[in-house]
């Protein structure tokens, strides 16, 4: 999408004038020996990443590295360096233009800790899945070490960790509000969102001799700067005013968020800042934001203009080796094994689920690749992937079925400030046709050597029910025994705080799915996701969800508890106790119950695993306290037995009896991996 007054040059329209055309490197170098082999005396840009280097478009450092290479820059990669000293950050020498620092494909804290703040012992983005190869808040640590290594080299932060920590944010693991990572890392610039446009512009202008502080006009950039004279400030930091800085004013305008110090001390101020930031996320109408940090102003330019289909194709058609760097030898990288035969067909999500950070990073505008580019990548997978069996493991993106969906009217799209296109109902201006996706599926299946194409990305079922033809196509050709789906809850209270459709829409999809499976002569299962302890969820809500699970004969073997990731709207609810989906001001904010105590969080999780004997004692105690002792007993309509049967619980070899007639209960994981019985 592009504003009516802004002309954006094509992504690949620039090339470094002083750079002679050269062949792409087989892999971007990770050592001086590789640089010598390429004939390089120095790198122009060194990318430091918390992930293993896999040269594949599913890994951010590979996309940015190959993109900068296509612009004529010499790019090296330092992957998962030892952060105990600055020496590993000198491995490729002093970069001529800048250091680019990213935590990797995941926020390092989400990657390393569970929702209960317990340490994970594995890391899917590390050779052999080994844990502990990156520090906590690794973007911050890496940037500080880069500064120690070469003090005068500009440091540019990017990736999802930096993107979601671009302003003062609540940090779940320390249980406090932290400053923008740009301030703590002492870096020069922060690029947020999908940063292809911004990183090209930054690289060329820094190479031409401009200073980082002079790059204040680039979209998707955060930096510290003074508010220019003659700029009109709209004060969203005044919590006694209803305005929230949302009014339209002619001229150069900036919206002043509550300061870092203010959001640290006032939880309603934090919720106001979150609300305004999300309302200013549409590239078509977003204004710059400014937030005071001590004696400096943090300035956030409007989000990047989304890539066109041609630009998306150019990014995914870059000369990736499509393999891990050879230095890893035969080590297994779990994340690579998971995605090496999958294809990304689009970016972005207009669902706006409050617990999810995809929208905050990739935006609400769907950016889709062309059929030709997708088919070409599938042929590369077929021809270049060792041991390829003819099965494409996934064709999708953040969601499976938003390909080429967009607002019917570009003017409406560029002026809209709604956080979701599908909540509380699907917007009548949204084109929900699945015809392009159905046509793509059929063309993909016709590629020579392709035996099966799976859909493993989550299906947005409220969109799918609008297209019976899509459900039929999906079930007939692209489901492998189960399909993951995300109702998240059954009760209206938490669903409204999640911005998710009611359970009735799930039932309609399930009916259509089962009818299509029967017609195709298949026996398939839906694997539903559910979240425990989400803000706005009561104990009664979880009890009702557990009863629904039992009535429908579902048994969750693994469950997910709400994890407050930085910048998500639900995280603002969790921290502040108010609802930023509605107006936020002193005396007029809507309260939200946040489930913070470990005891209550475990209770909500126990309701999801009502069938586990280990949970029966706590559930019996809770049901009695709730006045629902009628649900304790052995009848089919009761939730847990009155007595703990001998040999149940943690005892090995426990058999869990199935009560009542009919088929055995489905066992599933809310993370989408069906367990073999």
Binding site: residue ranges?
A: 349, 353, 356
Binding site for [4Fe-4S] cluster: residue ranges?
A: 349, 353, 356
- Taking residues 355-377, what's their average pLDDT? 94
pLDDT at residue 669, rounded to an integer: 40
Q: Is 3 exposed, middle or buried (0-12, 13-18, 19+ CB in 10 A)?
A: middle
pLDDT at residue 9, rounded to an integer: 85
Q: Domain check: are 276 and 386 in the same one? A: no
DSSP string, 365-382: S-EE--HHHHHHHHHHHH
Q: Domain check: are 252 and 212 in the same one? A: no
Picking from 62, 643, 626, 662, the residue whose alpha carbon sits closest to that of residue 344 is 62
Q: Domain check: are 108 and 244 in the same one? A: no
Burial 301-325 (b: 16+ CB within 10 A, else e): bbbbbbbbeebbbbbbbbebbbbbb
Q: Considering the domain boundaries, does residue 319 fall inside one?
A: no
Give yes or no for a contact between 437 and 469, defined as CB atoms under 8 angstroms apart: no
Tokens of 1: 């999408």
- State the chain's mean pLDDT as an integer: 92
Q: Domain check: are 209 and 121 in the same one? A: yes
Give yes or no for a contact between 273 and 267, defined as CB atoms under 8 angstroms apart: no
Number of domains in the chain: 4
Q: Domain check: are 200 and 65 in the same one? A: yes
Q: Considering the domain boundaries, does residue 448 fall inside one?
A: yes
Give yes or no for a contact between 304 and 195, defined as CB atoms under 8 angstroms apart: yes
Residue 181's domain spans which residues? 8-220
* pLDDT grade for 556, boundaries at 50, 70 and 90: confident
Pick the last residue of a domain from 303, 329, 353: 303
**H or E element in which residue 312 lies:** helix 309-316
What do you get for the CA distance between the two ends of the chain, in Å?
48
pLDDT at residue 559, rounded to an integer: 82
Q: Domain check: are 254 and 355 in the same one? A: no
Tokens of 336: 């690579």
pLDDT at residue 125, rounded to an integer: 97
What CATH number does residue 402 fall under?
Answer: 3.30.750.210
Pick the last residue of a domain from 303, 318, 352: 303
Q: Considering the domain boundaries, does residue 60 fall inside one?
A: yes
Q: Domain check: are 287 and 345 in the same one? A: no
C-beta neighbour count of 340 within 10 angstroms: 21
Q: Using the predicted structure, report yes or no on whether residue 426 has a pLDDT greater than 60.
A: yes
Q: Domain check: are 236 and 204 in the same one? A: no
- Taking residues 435-460, what's their average pLDDT? 97
Reported as a single tens digit per residue, the pLDDT across 471-491 is 999 999 999 888 989 999 999
Q: Return the half-sphere exposure (C-beta side, CA atoms, 13 A cut-off) of residue 274.
A: 35
pLDDT at residue 246, rounded to an integer: 86
> Percent of the chain having pLDDT more than 70?
94
Give yes or no for a contact between 189 and 133, defined as CB atoms under 8 angstroms apart: no
């Amino acid at each position: 999408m592009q504003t009516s007054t802004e002309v954006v040059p094509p992504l690949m329209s620039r090339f470094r004038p002083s750079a002679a055309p050269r062949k792409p490197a087989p892999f971007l170098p990770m050592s001086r020996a590789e640089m010598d082999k390429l004939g390089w005396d120095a790198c122009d840009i060194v990318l430091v990443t918390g992930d293993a280097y896999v040269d594949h478009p599913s890994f951010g450092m590979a996309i940015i590295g190959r993109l900068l290479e296509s612009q004529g820059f010499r790019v090296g990669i330092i992957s998962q360096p030892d952060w105990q000293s600055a020496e590993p950050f000198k491995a490729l020498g002093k970069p001529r233009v800048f250091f680019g620092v990213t935590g990797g494909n995941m926020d390092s804290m989400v990657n390393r800790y569970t929702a209960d703040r317990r340490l994970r012992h594995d890391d899917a983005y590390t050779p052999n899945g080994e844990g502990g190869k990156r520090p906590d808040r690794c973007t911050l640590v890496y940037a500080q070490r880069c500064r120690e290594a070469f003090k005068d080299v500009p440091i540019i932060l990017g990736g999802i960790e930096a993107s979601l920590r671009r302003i003062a944010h609540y940090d779940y693991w320390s249980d406090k509000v932290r400053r923008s990572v740009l301030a703590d890392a002492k870096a020069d610039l922060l690029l947020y969102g999908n940063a292809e446009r911004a990183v090209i512009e930054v690289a060329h202008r820094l190479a031409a001799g401009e200073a980082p502080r002079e790059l204040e006009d680039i979209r998707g950039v955060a930096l510290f700067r003074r508010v220019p004279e003659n700029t009109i400030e709209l004060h969203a930091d005044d919590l006694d005013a209803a305005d929230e800085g949302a009014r339209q004013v002619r001229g150069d305008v900036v919206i002043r968020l509550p300061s870092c110090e203010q959001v640290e001390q006032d939880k309603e101020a934090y919720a106001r800042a979150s609300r305004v930031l999300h309302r200013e996320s549409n590239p078509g109408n977003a204004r710059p934001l400014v937030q005071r940090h001590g004696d400096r102003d943090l300035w956030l330019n409007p989000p990047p203009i989304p890539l066109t289909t041609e630009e998306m194709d150019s990014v995914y058609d870059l000369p990736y080796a499509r393999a891990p760097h050879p230095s890893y030898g035969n080590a297994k990288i779990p994340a690579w094994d998971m995605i090496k035969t999958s294809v990304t067909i689009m970016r972005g999500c207009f669902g706006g689920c409050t617990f999810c950070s995809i929208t905050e990073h990739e935006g609400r505008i769907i950016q889709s690749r062309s059929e030709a580019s997708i088919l070409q990548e599938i042929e590369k997978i077929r021809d270049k992937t060792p041991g390829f069996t003819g099965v494409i493991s996934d064709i999708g993106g953040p969601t499976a079925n938003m390909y080429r969906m967009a607002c019917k009217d570009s003017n409406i799209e560029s002026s809209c400030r709604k956080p979701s296109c599908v909540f509380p109902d699907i917007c009548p201006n949204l084109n929900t046709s699945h015809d392009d996706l159905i046509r793509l599926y059929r063309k993909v299946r016709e590629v020579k050597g392709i035996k099966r194409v799976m859909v493993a990305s989550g299906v947005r079922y409220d969109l799918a029910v609008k297209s019976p033809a899509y459900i039929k196509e999906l079930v007939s050709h692209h489901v492998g025994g189960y399909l993951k789906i995300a109702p998240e809850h059954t009760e209206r209270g938490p669903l409204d705080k999640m911005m998710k459709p009611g359970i009735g829409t799930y039932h309609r999809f399930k009916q259509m799915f089962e009818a299509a499976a029967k017609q195709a002569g298949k026996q398939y299962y839906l694997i539903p996701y559910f979240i425990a302890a989400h803000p706005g969820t009561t104990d009664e809500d979880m009890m009702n969800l557990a009863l629904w699970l039992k009535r429908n004969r579902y048994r969750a073997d693994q469950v997910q508890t709400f994890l407050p990731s930085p910048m998500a709207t639900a995280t603002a609810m969790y921290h502040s106790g108010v609802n930023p989906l509605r107006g936020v001001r002193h005396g007029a904010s809507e309260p939200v119950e946040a489930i913070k105590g470990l005891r209550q969080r475990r209770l909500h999780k126990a309701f999801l695993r009502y069938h586990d004997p280990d949970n029966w004692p706590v559930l019996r105690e809770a049901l009695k306290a709730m006045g629902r002792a009628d649900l304790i007993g052995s009848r089919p309509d009761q939730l847990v037995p009155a007595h703990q049967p001998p040999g149940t619980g943690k005892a090995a070899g426990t058999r869990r009896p199935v009560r009542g007639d009919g088929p055995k209960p489905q066992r599933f994981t809310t993370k989408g991996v069906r367990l073999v019985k």
